[in-house]
Structure 1
Amino acid sequence: MESIQSCELPAPAGHYSQAVAAGSLVFLSGILPARDSVDPTASFEAQCASVFDQADKVLRAAGCGFQDVVQCTAYIVGVDGWPLFNGIYAEVFGAHKPARAVVPVPGLHYGYLVEVQLVAQRRG
């Protein structure tokens, strides 16, 4: 198992890696909005932008991009943000359509509204 850390992001505060590679698969830990730049009271759109910006940085550190994502699990507080999430997700992934689950939850850590976990495959 190879631990992956983006030099563009702070190290995780807990006992986990930003991502790990096992064979050709890369597993990104759950990503919440960046606490140093996005307050929990920020809009859902701003929180999603932060999550996907961080995911991009971790994917690049692993030698991947969004086109390499094979699975996404998104946790969103309530179901009201689902249509917004769908639109933002479609912008991020474009024509690429990985497997996906969107899980409505009653709450997330620090009071945030979205958390995303990804699995990608390294090519070549």
Structure 2
Amino acid sequence: MTMRDMTKHDMTTRDVIFPAGRQALYERNRYSPAIRSNGFLFVSGQVGSREDGSPEPDLEAQVRLAFKNLEAILKAAECTFDDVIDVTVFMVDPESKFETIWKVVPEFWGNAPHPTLTAVGVTWLYGFQFEIKVIAKLPESLDR
């Protein structure tokens, strides 16, 4: 098998996880919400988007909705926040928004020991103020 064949094969065997009711949004934007691979779940960045994909205007509600959107993906893969091992968050203007954002986190974070975390300040998130992406360990029964 050539390298090209291996790449082509890998592209056709992605084990994609879709949360209920939001597949059209991901198809329209041309990305997968999450992919299972080698015992892990790799989740694309989740924002506080409403059903139609538009941003929730209230920051605290937007962060809570981003976590709920993430939770729906974790649930679809039979995972919980306790299975999350690595987190990356993106915040527009973190200096002024960090406290508001971070007061929502304990509602969802899971139990200690907590996952690793990288926080990145950005200038633009397509109209959103917060985005979270994670890597989770799949339950042993789903270890693929």
TM-score normalised by structure 2 residue count? 0.77
Name the CA distance, whole Å, in 1 between partners of 2:59 and 2:72.
20
Name the CA distance, whole Å, in 2 between partners of 1:49 and 1:38.
15
Partner residue in 2 for 1:100: 117
Name the CA distance, whole Å, in 1 between partners of 2:124 and 2:68.
22
Q: What are structure 2's unaligned runs of at least 5 residues? A: 1-13
Name the CA distance, whole Å, in 2 between partners of 1:38 and 1:46.
15
Partner residue in 2 for 1:16: 31
Amino acid at match of 2:31: Y
How far off its partner does 1:95 sit?
Answer: 3.0
Q: Give the number of the structure whose alpha-carbon radius of gyration is greater.
A: 2
Larger RCO of the pair (alpha carbons < 8 Å, separation 6+): 1
| Number of matched pairs | 123
Amino acid at match of 1:106: T
Which 10-residue stretch deviates more, 92-101 or 56-65? 92-101
| Alignment pair present for 1:58 and 2:73 | yes
Contact 1:38–1:47 (Cα < 8 Å) also in 2: no
Identity rate, percent:
26
Cα-Cα RMSD: 1.8
Name the CA distance, whole Å, in 2 between partners of 1:29 and 1:101.
15
Q: What are structure 1's unaligned runs of at least 5 residues? A: none
Contact 2:48–2:62 (Cα < 8 Å) also in 1: yes
